[in-house]
Amino acid sequence: MANTSSYQQTKIDQQIQSPQSVIVIGALVALAGVALLGLQNNGWRVFGGALIGALAGVALYHTSFGFTAAWRRIVTQRRGQGLRAQFLLISLVCLISFPLLQYGPDIGIRTGGFVFPFGVGAAVGAFIFGIGMQLGGGCGSGTLFTVGGGSSRMVITLAFFILGSVIATAHLSFWNSLPRLPAFSLVRGYGVVPALLITILPLVAFAIFSVFLEKKQWGELEKSRKTTGFFQGQWGYVLGALMLALVCVLTFIVLQRPWGVTSGFALWGAKFFYAIGIPVETWPYWQWQVGAIKRSVFADSTSVMNFGIVLGALIAAGLAGKFNPVKKINLRDAGTAVVGGLLLGYGARLAYGCNIGAYLGGITSGSIHGWLWLVFAFAGSMVGTRVRHLIGMDPAPVTAK
Question: pLDDT for 240-291, tens place per residue?
Answer: 999 999 999 999 999 999 999 999 999 999 999 999 999 999 999 999 999 9
Contacts of 181 (CB under 8 A, 6+ apart): 117, 118, 119, 368, 372
Q: What is the DSSP letter of 185?
A: B
Supply the DSSP symbol for 102: H
> In 10 A of CB 87, how many CB atoms?
19
Higher pLDDT, 395 or 112: 112
At 122, give phi and psi (nearest 5°).
-65, -35
Is the separation of the CB atoms in 312 and 148 below 8 Å?
A: yes
End-to-end Cα spacing for the chain:
28
Residue 119, beta-bridge partner list: 180
At 18, phi and psi to the nearest 5? -70, 140
Q: In the prediction, which pLDDT does 396 show? A: 61
Cα separations in angstroms, 96 against 104, 146, 250, 305: 10, 28, 10, 21
Q: What is the pLDDT of residue 67?
A: 86
* Res. 4: pLDDT tops 60: no
pLDDT at 398: 53
- Residue 60 falls in which region: left (phi positive, over 0), alpha (psi -120 to 50) or beta: alpha
Rounded to whole angstroms, how far apart are CA atoms 63 and 242?
Answer: 11
Residue type at 164?
G
In this predicted structure, which of 9-13, 295-299, 321-325 has the lowest mean pLDDT?
9-13
Tell me the CB-side half-sphere exposure of residue 114, using CA atoms within 13 A.
29
Per-residue pLDDT tens over the stretch 144-179: 998 988 888 999 999 999 999 999 999 999 999 999
Residue 2 has pLDDT above 90, yes or no: no
Are the C-beta atoms of residues 267 and 69 closer than 8 Å to each other?
no
Mean pLDDT across 219-245: 88
Q: Where does residue 223 rank: exposed (0-12), middle (13-18), buried (19+ CB within 10 A)?
A: exposed
Phi, psi of 113 (to 5 degrees): -105, 170
The rounded distance, in Å, linking the Cα atoms of 347 and 134 is: 13
What does the alpha-carbon distance between residue 135 and residue 391 come to, in Å, rounded to a whole number? 10
Which residues have C-beta within 8 Å of that of residue 387, sequence separation ≥ 6? 131, 134, 135
Per-residue pLDDT at 5? 39
The pLDDT, as a whole number, for residue 16 is 57
Q: SS3 letters for 315-380?
A: HHHHHHCCCCCCCCCCHHHHHHHHHHHHHHHHHHHHCCCCHHHHHHHHHCCCEHHHHHHHHHHHHH
Q: Per-residue pLDDT for 239 more than 50?
A: yes
Kindly report, residue by residue over 308-362, the tens digit of the pLDDT: 999 999 999 999 888 888 778 889 999 999 999 999 999 999 999 999 999 999 9
d(CA 399, CA 401): 7
Record the pTM.
Answer: 0.92
**Sequence-ordered list of residues with C-beta below 8 angstroms from that of 79, at least 6 positions apart, any chain:** 73, 214, 218, 222
Within 8 A by CB and 6+ apart from 280, the residues are 166, 169, 170, 270, 273, 274, 286, 293
CA separation for the pair 277, 45 (Å, rounded):
32
* pLDDT tens per residue, range 129-143: 999 999 998 888 888
Confidence at residue 394, expressed as pLDDT on a 0 to 100 scale: 80
pLDDT score recorded for residue 13 = 44
Using one digit for the tens of pLDDT, what is the confidence trace for 89-114? 999 999 999 999 999 999 889 999 99
The mean of the pLDDT values for the chain is 91
